[in-house]
Amino acid sequence: MFCGWNGSVEELTKISGEEIMRSLISFYRESSGENPAATQTDAWEDSIQVLREQFAVLIRDMPTARNWGLAFEYELPREGGRRPDAVVLAGNRIAVLEFKEKQSWEQADIDQVEAYARDIRNYHEASRGHLVIPVLVPTRRKGETERLEDVVVVPPSQLARFFLSLPTSHESQLDLSDWLMSDYAPLPSLVEAARRIFNSEPLPQIKRAHSAKVDETIRYLLDVADKAEKQKEWHLALITGVPGAGKTLVGLRFVHEHHQELSEGRAKTSVFLSGNGPLVTVLQDALKSTIFVQPMHNFIKQYWMRGTAPKEQVLVFDEAQRAWDAEQVREHHKGVAASGEWRSEPEMLVNIVERHHEWALIVGLVGEGQEIYVGEEAGLGQWNTAIARSRLPWVVHGPARLAGLFTAASEYHSEDLLNLTTSLRTHLAEDVQEWIHKLLEGKIAECKPLADTIFAQGFRMYLTQSLDQAERYVQTRYSGEPQKRFGLLASSRAKNLERYGVRNGFEDTRKLRQAKWYNEPSDSPESCCALEAVATEFDAQGLELDFPIVCWGDDLKWSNSKWVSKPYRGKKNIRDPHMLRLNSYRVLLSRGRDGFVVFVPPEPEMRETVSLFIDAGVRWISEPNLITPVDGSHLDCAERTR
């Protein structure tokens, strides 16, 4: 069964409420293994009574509505138990109903039902091309129907009138059975996608991933690996992309599919390496394996010091632009430093794979504007230096704009497939990364139009000066959705946050158990959803949450129309400390899948920063959006999102 109860509108008015309740309770037990709480059964009884009364009126005034389809507690496939309260197939239109036992509503209520409608509209095959209307029903509310942007807020006494006001359609009625059986392919999180890849489970056929040409990119890399092996060549392929564009997933899929393409009995010859410790920890925990994903620093330490060659001839290096320069290697790779050979990580990696004496492929995944550690600032230039110092000819593949950087390549193959420009993290909100880029560049006047578009695409960007309010929002928004992840993010260098309960100091954050923070069930005290432990930019890079609370500190403030950062104390050899702070906040702002809320402490020195976010189009969490009485034009906004 895919829902708690389903049938026609007429059947709902004729069947007993007790029978519907028995079906809902049985479904809940089967799907969760528990009995529903009294608050849940009370809510069901309330919504059943409302719909039975209102649909009786609707059928009286519009007899054709008797054949409309209705599903209570339809469970969105692959979403870990997410269920809108009711879905009504009104002819060829789809109304997604969420009932709240309250008189008014919170912003989280609005955003929750809008997200249900967004996902059904975009990922449910039978709903594609149909008008999908998010409807919030505060069951204790009186008065008239109103619209809050795309969401229609309908008092229970006005539901029949609302359905009567829908524009007349002459298209055929959607078949309820077909609709319930339809394929649903949502965007999986990075961790969930990694699990599926290495369990050989199919990933959903995501239209957005197809348009981003992810499959073609992986095929290109597989062909390069095949060519390198057959022709005994040395290749370096660089994949660039904005945060959330799927670079890590491309790397993981490539490693897995390269293994699958090898003939039976051959040794596995590829590995995914990352210098991002939290990413490695979280993925190894999720995969319950340390074979496919390994720490870059451990790999170098093992093979550089021993002078041996690894069995792998295909290496995928995540965050290749963040590879350590020779100075950081000298400081942190103690064993390497002791040998007296202080080289950059790219040079050591090239040297290690050349020990095979036959062929190799290094795939570098390049995040743009994400250098956040001291020693990572040398960037991609280190890779050109590495192949320049090599005794072998290296063929380089990458986007056309990097061609001028690789003067030491024996050949450079420009390939647009290696530049991932579509964000897969933020659902259909294509402009989030551009908004973040302009914000941190200080181009505030250009942010507001982008922000309006982003909100229309379903991505939410909120501001608050109350941490309690931010926490209430995420807890309310994801109530009953245990697979969703939200948590506290903060800069490691902010000094004014601890007095507000944001424990981002070194002693607290070094104790963070990243795997548990990201992967534990949402009701675990070690989960990010407990809103206790704080993750910094170093814990968050390469990973994601559905809705982070970004705690904005005093290490990066807007003052006199420009960004001002605090100087680094006691640190040497920092080429651009201001850029490191900008990049840290770029990482923090780009972790969200559904949106983010920025918490700015209520301090005089942060006032200009607050004003900046408002000018850039970020909305107060409590700000009432445009509320208009509903008449015959109430579906204009929803129509535009079809």
Q: How confident is the model at residue 326 (pLDDT cuts 50, 70, 90)?
A: confident
Question: What is the CATH code for 432-620?
Answer: 3.40.50
Which is more confidently placed, 256 or 136?
Answer: 136
Q: How far apart are CA 439 and CA 602, in angstroms?
A: 21
Is the pLDDT assigned to residue 181 strictly greater than 70?
A: yes
Q: Give me the pLDDT at residue 196, please.
A: 75
Is the pLDDT assigned to residue 183 strictly greater than 50?
A: yes
Q: Which token pair is 549?
A: 């609370």
Q: Give me the pLDDT at residue 480, please.
A: 85
Using DSSP bridges, classify how beta strands 556-559 and 534-535 pair: parallel, antiparallel or unpaired: unpaired
Q: How confident is the model at residue 266 (pLDDT cuts 50, 70, 90)?
A: low
The model's pLDDT over 52-102, given as tens digits with 9 standing for 90+, comes to 999 999 999 999 999 999 999 999 887 777 899 999 999 999 999 999 999
Q: How confident is the model at residue 638 (pLDDT cuts 50, 70, 90)?
A: very low
The model's pLDDT over 531-588, given as tens digits with 9 standing for 90+, comes to 999 999 999 988 889 999 999 999 999 999 999 998 877 665 677 889 889 999 999 9
CATH of 5-186, one of 1.10.260, 3.40.1350, 1.10.150, 3.30.1490: 3.40.1350
Q: How far apart are CA 274 and CA 334, in angstroms?
A: 19
Q: How confident is the model at residue 418 (pLDDT cuts 50, 70, 90)?
A: very high
Using DSSP bridges, classify how beta strands 627-629 and 146-148 pair: parallel, antiparallel or unpaired: antiparallel
- Give the helix/strand (H/E) hosting 393: none
Q: How far apart are CA 487 and CA 241, in angstroms?
A: 25
Q: How far apart are CA 174 and CA 172, in angstroms?
A: 6
480-486 average pLDDT score? 90
Q: Give me the pLDDT at residue 334, please.
A: 57
Q: Give me the pLDDT at residue 280, please.
A: 87
DSSP-assigned states of every residue in 106-122 = -HHHHHHHHHHHHHHHH
Highest mean pLDDT: which range of 85-99, 156-170, 270-284: 85-99
pTM for the model = 0.77
How is the chain split into domains, by residue range? 5-186, 190-420, 432-620
Range scoring the smallest mean pLDDT among 67-81, 329-343, 427-441 = 329-343
12-25 average pLDDT score? 95
The secondary structure of residue 128, as a DSSP letter, is: T
Only one residue has tokens 């809008």, namely: 114
The model's pLDDT over 447-481, given as tens digits with 9 standing for 90+, comes to 999 999 999 888 999 999 999 999 999 999 999 88
The model's pLDDT over 100-139, given as tens digits with 9 standing for 90+, comes to 999 988 999 999 999 999 999 988 999 989 999 999 999 9
Q: Give me the pLDDT at residue 170, please.
A: 75
Is the pLDDT assigned to residue 173 strictly greater than 60?
A: yes
- Residues facing 628 on adjacent strands: 147
Give me the amino acid identity at 613. Answer: F
Q: How far apart are CA 240 and CA 362, in angstroms?
A: 14
User: Does the fold of domain 432-620 match that of domain 190-420?
Assistant: yes
Is the pLDDT assigned to residue 483 strictly greater than 90?
A: no
Cβ count within 10 A of residue 210 = 11
Q: Phi and psi for 525 in degrees, rounded to 5?
A: -65, -15
How high does pLDDT run on average in the chain?
86
The model's pLDDT over 375-408, given as tens digits with 9 standing for 90+, comes to 433 467 889 999 999 999 999 999 998 899 899 9
Q: Give me the pLDDT at residue 575, please.
A: 72
Q: How far apart are CA 287 and CA 285, in angstroms?
A: 6
What CATH class is the domain 190-420?
A: alpha beta
